[in-house]
Amino acid sequence: MPKNNGSHEHLDITVEVFRTSVTTIEKAEFLLEKLQREFPSCDINFDLEDCDHILRVATKHNRIDPSHILRLVKSHNESIEPLPDIVPTIIESRQ
């Protein structure tokens, strides 16, 4: 059995996150089918419980063209906008 020497394979994962107007499971499933057909190597999901009705598109293989995703979703009468990349700031307490 191989030992885990603590090293990790470097994974270059690209994730795009969008705010959408999708509110129904039926519409989300319909759009997921369309998106997965266009982006077969991506992991795509909706979070309809989030207040922004989030669409996440992740891939390990290629860069994602957000404009193609925007056009596809808008072509089915839904609004969509990319959410900005926000890097959390860590504040250290001084004692």
Which residue's entry shows tokens 């989300």?
Answer: 28
Please give the chain's pLDDT, 95 residues, in tens: 444 444 445 568 889 999 999 999 999 999 999 999 999 989 999 999 999 999 999 998 777 889 999 999 999 999 999 998 776 666 666 55
Amino acid at 85: D
Extract the tokens encoding 29: 């499933």
Degrees (nearest 5) of the Cα angle 69, 77, 13? 20
- Residue 64 and residue 60: Cα distance in Å, rounded? 10
Its pTM stands at 0.77
Per-residue buried b or exposed e for 59-77, using 16+ beta carbons within 10 Å of the residue's own CB: beeeebeeeebbebbeeee
